[in-house]
Homo-oligomer: A and B are copies of this chain.
Amino acid sequence: MSARAGKVVCDLTVSLDGYAAGPGQSEERPFGDDGGDGSGATLHAWMFEDADENRAEIDLLGSARAFVMGRNMFGPVRGPWDRPWNGWWGDEPPFHAPVFVLTHHAREPQPMAGGTTFHFVTDGIGAALERARAAAGDGDVAVAGGATTVNQYLAAGLIEELRLHVVPLTLGAGPRLFDGVPPLELAQVASRPARRVTHLTYEVLG
């Protein structure tokens, strides 16, 4: 029996049509063709422009004790790690915890300031989650994105709580939440409207 009390959670900001980013990501446009300048500002206005109103959700985002993410959320480098890249977030990333980056391209762990270390995991979603769980202790593990990664965890039944921040725009293309994921039964555990976003929290029942 495990003493773990933490959950596997997933927070994702999605357009009303379910996209977590637009297509065509590049170093200059981390969110691709996102209806704005590619910075994700359109999707994340609720965080950056309306932070006070959404304080509870923003605080929850950062409360996980380990993170799993896909290689494209980490950066625009594709294929071999042939140039320096330590994430979009500067020297002190906002995770303050171990981050397990899924990739097919092995790389040494990359420690950063403020407690974040990027670990690169080449043996799949199960292995990444196991390592994140071990690192999180009794805290939560967050599957942080993008949609390609989240969809794999949803399909495997490994996400317990899904927190969607639904924003008033559609993108029409890009990595889409639930794409290819078999039907799920959910329980709506919370739903909170704010001015330019609705925060939906679901327990994933199976």
Residues on A lying within 8 angstroms of B by beta carbon are 16-18, 35, 164, 166, 168-172, 177-178, 180-188, 190-193, 195-198, 200, 202
CA distance A171 to B193 in the complex (A): 24
Name the CB-closest residue of B to A170.
B184
Q: A169, B184: Cβ atoms under 8 Å? A: yes
CA distance A111 to B169 in the complex (A): 39
Contact A170:B166 (CB < 8 A) given known A196-B188, A200-B198: no
* Pairs of residues from A and B, 8 with the lowest C-beta to C-beta distance, nearest first: A191-B193, A17-B178, A168-B186, A168-B188, A191-B198, A170-B184, A172-B183, A170-B183
Closest Cβ of chain B to A72, distance in Å, is 21
The interface residues of chain B lying within 8 Å CB-to-CB of A17 are: 18, 177-178, 181
The interface residues of chain B lying within 8 Å CB-to-CB of A16 are: 164, 178, 186, 200, 202
CA distance A184 to B16 in the complex (A): 10
CA distance A172 to B180 in the complex (A): 7
CA distance A57 to B26 in the complex (A): 43
The interface residues of chain B lying within 8 Å CB-to-CB of A166 are: 200
A-B residue pairs in contact (CB < 8 Å), sample of 23: A16-B164, A16-B186, A16-B202, A17-B18, A17-B177, A17-B178, A18-B178, A35-B185, A168-B185, A168-B188, A169-B183, A169-B184, A169-B185, A170-B183, A172-B178, A172-B181, A172-B183, A188-B195, A188-B197, A190-B193, A191-B193, A193-B193, A198-B200
